[in-house]
């Protein structure tokens, strides 16, 4: 008998404990909030020992940081890539507003709808953390978005040159709020009005968000 495979069916990849912890924490955090999940719950769900988190991450806070970086970095890279593509396709002209907004919205929605792995609920967690008090998380999010916000602000100012900067900032905040609230609803259909979550697919949501926010941004001052 193969001792490593049959006597202990659990722990298929011994070196993957760190990833299992991240996945379990992501799922549980999205469901119950960061403060609402204990290290014991995480390690139990990840089939790991209680001390594993402090061994691999040092502290719970560091796990949170690594969790956010793992998901936020790819999303924002994709946002910038889509924006680059939109601007390159415009050939010197300002990129179309709808394409800019889709570049901002699509990566978040797609990540939110990704069924594979635990990444599906991350955007729900992210939306929750926007309103959380933890200063470390706040700084972390801010650092991840600083560059993205600058690029998108500039792109939109190019296509809507008559929009005052102040007005643009507020409207982008409104758009962000709409996006994150929508992703939140996707994770909590119980908050939706009846019958709203019929045929809930990402492309439809993206289309709705783009047309709503584009109209809002184009509103007369």
Partner DNA sequence: GTCGCATTCAAACGAATGTTTGAAACGTAT
Partner DNA sequence: ATACGTTTCAAACATTCGTTTGAATGCGAC
**Residues contributing to the site for DNA (CB under 7 A):** 4, 8, 11, 14-15, 17, 37-41, 48-56, 58-61
Q: Which long-range contacts (CB under 8 A, 24 or more apart) does 156-159 make?
A: 156/97, 156/100, 156/217, 158/94, 158/95, 159/94, 159/95, 159/96, 159/97, 159/100
159: partner contacted, choices DNA, a second copy, none (Cβ within 5-8 A by kind): none
How many chain residues interact with a second copy (CB under 8 A)?
A: 55
Rounded (10°) CA dihedral 80, 127, 130, 100:
30
Q: Which one of residues 32, 38, 85, 88 is an interface residue with a second copy (CB under 8 A)?
A: 32
Q: Which stretch binds a second copy (CB under 8 A): 18-26, 57-65, 86-94, 180-188?
A: 180-188
Q: Going residue by residue from 119 to 138, which x/- string records binding to a second copy, judged by CB under 8 A?
A: --------xx-xxxx----x
167: partner contacted, choices a second copy, DNA, none (Cβ within 5-8 A by kind): a second copy
Show the DSSP H helices in 90-121 as ranges: 97-113
Cα separation of 109 and 178, whole Å?
12
Cα separation of 40 and 170, whole Å?
41
193 binds a second copy (CB under 8 A): yes
Cα separation of 128 and 140, whole Å?
14
209: partner contacted, choices DNA, a second copy, none (Cβ within 5-8 A by kind): a second copy
208 binds a second copy (CB under 8 A): yes
Cα separation of 26 and 42, whole Å?
9
213 binds a second copy (CB under 8 A): yes
Question: Which tokens sit at 69?
Answer: 């970086």
User: Rule CB under 8 A: which residues touch a second copy?
Assistant: 31-33, 35-36, 127-128, 130-133, 138, 142, 149, 153, 165-167, 169-171, 173-182, 184-185, 188, 190-193, 195-196, 198, 205, 208-209, 211-221
């Amino acid at each position: 008998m193969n001792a490593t495979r049959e006597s202990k069916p659990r722990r298929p990849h011994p070196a993957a404990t760190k990833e299992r912890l991240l996945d379990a924490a992501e799922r549980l955090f999205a469901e119950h909030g960061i403060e609402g999940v204990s290290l014991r719950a995480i390690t139990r769900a990840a089939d790991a020992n209680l001390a594993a988190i402090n061994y691999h991450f040092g502290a719970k806070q560091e796990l949170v940081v690594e969790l956010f970086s793992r998901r936020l970095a790819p999303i924002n890279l994709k946002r910038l890539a889509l924006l680059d593509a939109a601007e390159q396709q415009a050939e010197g002209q300002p990129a179309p507003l709808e394409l800019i907004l889709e570049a901002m919205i699509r990566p978040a929605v797609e990540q939110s709808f990704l069924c594979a792995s635990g990444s599906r609920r991350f955007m729900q967690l992210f939306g929750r953390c926007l309103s959380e008090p933890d200063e470390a998380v706040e700084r972390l999010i801010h650092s991840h978005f600083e560059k993205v916000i600058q690029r998108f602000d500039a792109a939109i100012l190019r296509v809507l040159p008559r929009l005052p900067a102040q007005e643009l900032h507020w409207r982008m905040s409104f758009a962000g709020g709409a996006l994150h609230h929508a992703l939140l609803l996707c994770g909590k259909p119980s908050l939706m009005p009846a019958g709203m979550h019929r045929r809930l697919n990402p492309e439809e949501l993206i289309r709705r968000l783009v047309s709503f926010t584009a109209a809002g941004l184009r509103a007369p001052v």
